[in-house]
């Protein structure tokens, strides 16, 4: 094509506008990004959101500027409708990507402000649970909205959807039944985020298994069991079924140990030994310990030994330490007072 004829080409003004607005949009992206990073430096959540969104904004701003150029072009320009449609699809995809990155960055900033690797992490675990569940729900809704907007740009897709809804009622019912678990988990996720029956790092007893909440996704909960196995449960389980929570209001626990001894066992030495074991145990949190006779049978007494610990794993280790220490003490100092079956000479054993 002759260069002298180029200004008279129908697309000349439109392409010239595109060549102008793209560098301007990139300049706005760079300067605006640096300005926002500086302004939000004192707000970690917003600062992380801006930093996480920059890669998506690099594409969204030029596409937005180009869409304005295509919309300003004459409607009778050849292929302009297809260019507008293609640019619109790319712009929706970039905007969806930008929204997802912004949500992810804001969530990371919130989590960074509340580390969970501290001794008293109850509030941090509450915030981690809310932030993770709500961010995943928001990202899912953004992705669904973006996909829906992209489909709505195709007239054929709207017609197919309308005809399916109008003429295929059975398919609609089947689709509704198939989508029920998805919406149930979505609603359960919102309930867990707001009411918080469970939180990240909570200690639970579920289905007879002891474990810690390792991850809460948009559809299921990962429970890390004491032996490194993972128990996967749907979100709806924690809304519909009962379970034990050992860290609902505090991670502190009262550990118990039960021991059976003969009636001849003196209790004072046992209390002294319990005090020695507990005070020497690194797992004890210094709150309380006690030894009590909680039951009796025709052959033995039931002793309950209580001691407190800061967390569930420490309480388990403390219980084991007390149990082992008390058994060793009784075997060494009072072996004759361990539970045993007595049979008098000349009499049959009592059944």
Say if residue 174's pLDDT is above 50: no
Task: Please determine, for residue 47, whether its predicted confidence score (pLDDT) is greater than 60.
Answer: yes
Question: Among 196-205, 208-217, 282-291, 339-348, whose mean pLDDT is lowest?
Answer: 339-348
Per-residue pLDDT band for 341 (boundaries 50, 70, 90) equals low
Local confidence band at 351 (pLDDT 50, 70, 90 cut-offs): very low
Task: Write out the DSSP string of 148-186.
Answer: HHHHHT-HHHHHHHHHHHHH-HHHHHHHHHHHHHHHHHH
CA 192 to chain CA mean position, Å: 10
Question: Which of 64, 65, 40 has the alpha carbon at shortest distance from 52?
Answer: 40
What is the model's pLDDT at position 169? 46
pTM: 0.58
Residue 310 has a pLDDT of 84
- Quote the CA–CA distance of 45 and 135 in Å, as a whole number: 13
- In the block, tokens 């392409």 appear at 15
Tell me the domain boundaries of the chain: 11-168, 253-337
Strand partners, 73: none
Candidate CATH numbers 3.30.420.40, 3.30.990.10, 3.30.70.100, 3.90.480.10; the one for domain 253-337: 3.30.70.100
- For the stretch 180-191, pLDDT in tens is 565 676 677 777
Q: Are 309 and 285 in contact (CB under 8 A)?
A: yes
Taking alpha carbons only, the member of 312, 31, 152 closest to residue 160 is 152
Residue 345, helix vs strand vs coil: coil
pLDDT of residue 164: 43
d(CA 93, CA 4): 39
């Amino acid at each position: 094509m002759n260069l002298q004829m180029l200004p008279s080409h129908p697309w000349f003004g439109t392409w010239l506008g595109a060549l102008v607005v793209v560098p301007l949009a990139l300049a706005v992206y760079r300067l605006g990004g640096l300005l926002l990073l500086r302004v939000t430096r004192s707000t970690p959540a917003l600062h992380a959101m801006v930093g996480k969104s920059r890669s998506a904004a690099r594409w969204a701003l030029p596409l937005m500027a180009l869409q304005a150029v295509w919309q300003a072009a004459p409607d009778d320009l050849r292929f302009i409708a297809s260019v507008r449609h293609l640019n619109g699809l790319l712009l929706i995809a970039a905007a969806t990507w930008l929204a997802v990155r912004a949500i992810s960055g804001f969530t990371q900033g919130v989590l960074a402000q509340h580390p969970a690797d501290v001794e008293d992490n109850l509030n941090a675990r509450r915030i981690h649970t809310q932030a993770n569940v709500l961010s995943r729900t928001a990202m899912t809704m953004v992705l669904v909205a973006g996909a829906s907007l992209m489909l709505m740009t195709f007239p054929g897709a709207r017609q197919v959807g309308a005809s399916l809804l109008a003429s295929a009622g059975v398919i609609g019912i089947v689709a509704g039944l198939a989508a029920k678990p998805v919406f149930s988990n979505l609603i359960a996720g919102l309930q867990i985020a707001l009411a918080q029956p469970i939180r990240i790092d909570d200690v639970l007893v579920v289905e007879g298994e002891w474990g810690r909440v390792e991850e809460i996704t948009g559809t299921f909960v990962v429970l890390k069991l004491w032996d490194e196995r993972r128990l996967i449960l749907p979100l709806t389980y924690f809304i519909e079924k009962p379970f034990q929570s050992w860290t609902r209001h505090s991670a502190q626990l009262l550990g118990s140990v039960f021991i059976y001894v003969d009636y001849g066992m003196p209790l004072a030495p046992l209390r002294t030994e319990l005090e020695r074991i507990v005070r020497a145990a690194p797992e004890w949190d210094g709150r309380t310990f006690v030894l009590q006779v909680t039951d009796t049978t025709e052959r033995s007494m039931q002793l309950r030994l209580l001691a407190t610990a800061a967390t569930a794993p420490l309480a388990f280790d403390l219980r084991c330490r007390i149990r082992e220490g008390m058994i060793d003490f009784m075997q060494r100092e009072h072996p004759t007072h361990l539970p045993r079956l007595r049979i008098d000479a000349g009499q049959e054993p009592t059944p």
